[in-house]
Structure 1
Amino acid sequence: MGELGLNKIMGALLATALVMMGLATLPSLVFGGGDHGGDHEEPATLSEKMCTQFHYCVEIAEAASAGAAEEVFDLGAALAGADISRGERTFAGQCATCHTIAAGGANGTGPNLHNTVGADKARVAGFNYSGALSNAEGGWTYENLDAWLKSPAGYMRGTSMSFAGIKRDADRANVIAYLAANTEGAPAFPAPMAAPAPAEGEAVPAEGEAVPADGEAVPAEGEAAPAQGQAAPAEEAPAEEVQPT
C-alpha cells in the first residue's frame, strides 16, 4: 500500500472520531444542559431541577413553607364579642329545620336544644340518639360545641347527624352564644387567650402607658412623653465650670 492510501485511511479514521465526538456533545449544544465554562448555581426549585436534568421545563407549584405558623382560633375572645342576634338568624337558617330551642319544645329530627350548654351530650330522655352520641362521655362544653358545630362527623365518628358544619369561626361563636342565651344558668364563657409574652429584652409598658412607636425614644422615669408629632427634647449639655482666678 502506498503512502497516499495510508493517508486516506488515517483521514477517514480521524473524520469518524470527530463525527462521534460531535454526536456526543450535540444534546448539550441543542438543549443547553452542558457546562460552558461558567459557574452555575445549584437548581433551587423542583421546576429548575426538571429543566436542568431532563430538559423538561414546566412550572411546578412549590409547597408552602413548613415553618409557617397556623393561626390559633381564640374561642374565648370570639364568644366575648359574639352577636346573639346573628346567632339566632344563623340558627334559624341552618339548625331550625331539625331542632327547636324554646323551653319545652318538641323534638324533631334532632332533639330540642334548650338548656344545652353544659349538659350531657345525650341529655334528652326518650330521644333516639345514635350509638356514637349515646355512648359519648363528657358534656357540651363551649369547646366541645365549637368542635361539633364545625364538623359533627369529624368530631364524632358514627353520628347520624348529616349536617356539614359551620365553617366560619365568627358564625359558630354567634350560634354558641345564642345557645348559651337559651340555657338557664349557662356556664361563663372561657377566658380569652393570654397575650404573647414580649421578646427577650423588649420593654413592657406600664398599665395605662402608651406604647412608643418604632424609632421613638422611651422617656426616662418621671419625664413626660412628647406629644404626637413633637420631637423629644434634646439633652442639655452641662454648663462649663469656671475655675476661680
Structure 2
Amino acid sequence: MSDTDMGEALWEAAEAGNTGEVTRLLEAGAPVNWAESDSGRTPLITAAEEGHVEPMRVLLDHGSDLEAKDKNGATALIVAAGNGHVDAMAMLLDRGADLEATSTAGETALILAARFGKFAAMTMLLDRGADLEAMDYQRLESARESKSEALEAQGAKMEEVLDAQDAEMEEALAAKQAEMEGALAAKQAEMEGALAAKQAEMEEALAAKQAEMDAQAAAAEAYRTATVAAMAALEHRVKQLEDLAQLL
C-alpha cells in the first residue's frame, strides 16, 4: 500500500475508533500525521472529534503532532472541546496540548466549548488554567441562552411524554378494572349457576330418596297386612282342626 492509502486507512480507523486497526497500520508504517484532503484533519484530530480516547493514545504514542491543525485552524483539543469530549481533552492536556491555541477564526478551545454549550468541557479547561479573559462573553451568554432554551424545550417534551404516559396508564388501569369486574361477574354467575345446579341435584336426590322410602314403607305395610291375613287364616284353620278333632 502507498503512504496515501495507508494514511487514509489510518484516518478511517481512527474515525471509527478501531484501536486494533490503528495499531496495526502504525506498526506497518502508516504516516501518523497524514491529513485528509477535504478537512485537513489528521487521524488524531478526527479521533478527538469522535472522542475515541484509546486510538488517540496509540496515535500520540507513535508521535502524532498534538498541535497539528485542520483547514479551519483547529487543533485536536479545540475539536474535542467543541464536541464536549472531556476524556479526550484530559488526555490531550496531560500530553501537553496548548490551552490557548486558536483556530483561524480566533477561537480557543474554551470559546468553542462555550459556543456549543459544552459546560463540562468549559469547567475542565478553566480548571486547567484556560484564559478567561480570552472569552467572548457575548458568545458565552448566547450559549447559555441556547442551553436554557434547549432545557426548557426538553422539559416541555418530558411533560408531554409524562402526560401521555399518565393517560396511557389511566386507560390501562380502567381497562384492567373493567376486565377484573367482568371476570368477577362471570365467576359469580358461574358460582350461582353451579350452586343452583347442585341445589336442584340435591332436591332431586332427596325426592328420589323420599320416593324410595315411601315405596319401602308401602311394601312393609303390604307385608304386614299380608302377614296379619295369613295369621288369621292360620288361626281359622287351627280352629277348624280343633272342631274336627272334637267330633271324632
Bigger relative contact order, structure 1 or 2, given CA contacts below 8 A and separation 6+? 1
Band of TM-score, shorter chain: under 0.3
Structure 2 length-normalised TM: 0.20
Structure 1 length-normalised TM: 0.20
Structure with the higher helix share, 1 or 2: 2
Q: Bigger radius of gyration, 1 or 2?
A: 2
